Structure 1
Amino acid sequence: MFKYIFLSFLFFSSTQFVQGQSDSTFKMVGGNFLYYANSKVADVDWTQSMEERTSAFVAFPYIGKFYGEEQELFVGFGVGFSQTRQVSDKPSYSSTTSVVSATDLSRLVTFNAFVRRYYRLHPKLAIFGQLLAGGGLGTLETEIELENDANLTSFQVVGTPGVHFSVSETFGLELLYGGLGFTQIKSNYQDSNSYFAGSEVNRLFGLDFDKTSVRLGITFTY
C-alpha cells in the first residue's frame, strides 16, 4: 500500500512540475520530518512500577502553489507517514515470570490539504501559520498476553506555526513547532473473541507544544 501511495504522490508532483513551467506562479515541493525516542517510569501501584519506551518517526512530503500579489498565500496537498512503537515492561502476577513485555506498533498514512499564510520578516526569512485538515488509515499491532490487532482510521484539523529560511532562490529550510487542533483516531479490533473486541474512539483537542512536536523540513521552489 505504501508503494502505491508514494507512486501516486510522485505522479501528482511531476504533473504539477510540468504545469509550473507554463505560468509565472511559484510552486513549492517540500517535506518535513520528525523523530523522537524517550522512556519513562510510571507507578502501577504502591509496590511496583512500569517502564515505557516510545519511539516515533513521521514524514510529510507535500506540493502546492503560491497565490497573492506577494506570493504570501500557499495552498498545498501532502501525504503523511507515521510509525510509533511503544514497549512497556509491566509487572506480572504469574509465578513463572516477574515482568511482561507489551509492544504496540502503529502505522498510519494520512491525506491532507492545508493552507499557509506567510509573513516576510526579511527577504530570506518568513514566519507562517498553517491550517491543515485530513484523514487516514492505518494498523495497530499488539504483542501482549491478550494479543489483538486493530485497523485505524483518523481525522484531524490542526493549526501550526512555522518558520521558513531561504538558503537560495530555490532551496529553503523550514521548522514547524506544536499546534492547536482536534484529532480523532478510531481503532477497530479484529478479533471478535478478544477482551478488546469492538471499536474504540480517542479524541484529543488542545495545545501541543511538547519537544516531540518539532519538525524540520526542506523546500524547493520553482
Structure 2
Amino acid sequence: MVEWAADPAGGRDGDLQPWELANERPRVATPWPDFDNLVTLYRGKLLGLGAFKGRREAAAGLELAVHAAANGHSAVLFAPELPRRNPVPRLLVDRSPELTPSRLRGVLDGMAGRGEPAELVVIDHFGLLQPDQRLTSYDDYGDYERWDEEDGVDKAEQAAGEVARELKHLAMDHEVPIVVMAYFTGTFDKNLPLDLDRLGNAAVLEYDADAVLLLRRLNATQVFVRVAKDRSGPAPADAVVGW
C-alpha cells in the first residue's frame, strides 16, 4: 500500500518545482519511524546517506530497499559489491560492475516499459559510480588522476559532480526517490564530528541532493544523525533516532 505525505516543501505552488506541485504525493516509508520524521522519500527526491563502511548503519540502503519491497513497493538496488543472497519479491538487485548514470537509466527505462516502474532506487555506493564520459584517465591503481596540470581542475571532483547531477535528473525524469549511500573516509572515530568533508568526493552531493544525512551508531538501538543538508527543513541539525 502506498502511504501519502503532505508536500514537505511547505511553499506556495509558484515556489515549487514541477514534480513538487501536488499537495499530496506517494512516499516510501523507511524501516525506522524516527528516521521518517527527519526525511520524506517522495518522488523525484535525491537523498545521500553517509556512513562508516563496515558498520551496521552502512547497510541502511540494503535494509531500506528490502523494507520497501516487503511493503509492496517496486524497488531496485544497484550494488555491485553485494554478495548474492535469496531473492526478495519486488526487489531487483543489479550487480553490474559498470555503474554509470546511463546504466541506471537503462534499467529504470526497462522497468517502466514493462509496466513496473520503480518506486524506490538505492545505490550502494557513490564511490562505485562513474560518469558516462570519462573526464580523465586512470592511474596505475585504477583511481582518477586527481589534477589536470594544465587548468588546475580536480578531475575526480568534477566527475563526481557530473554523476550527482545525473542522479538528480534521473530521479526527476522517472519521478522516483533515489537514495545513494556514501562512505566516510578514514577510520571510525566516535569523537570526531560528522561533516560533509569526511565523505571525500561524495561531498559534492551537497549541491544536487535534496538532503544529505550523516549517520553514526551510538549503541545497539540508537543512531546519531547529522542533517547536513535539507531543502525541506532546518540544516544543519542533529537528532538521535531509534534504529
TM-score, normalised via structure 1 length:
0.25
Looking at CA atoms only, which structure, 1 or 2, has the larger radius of gyration?
1
Higher helix share: 2
TM-score, normalized by length of structure 2? 0.23
Greater strand percent: which structure? 1
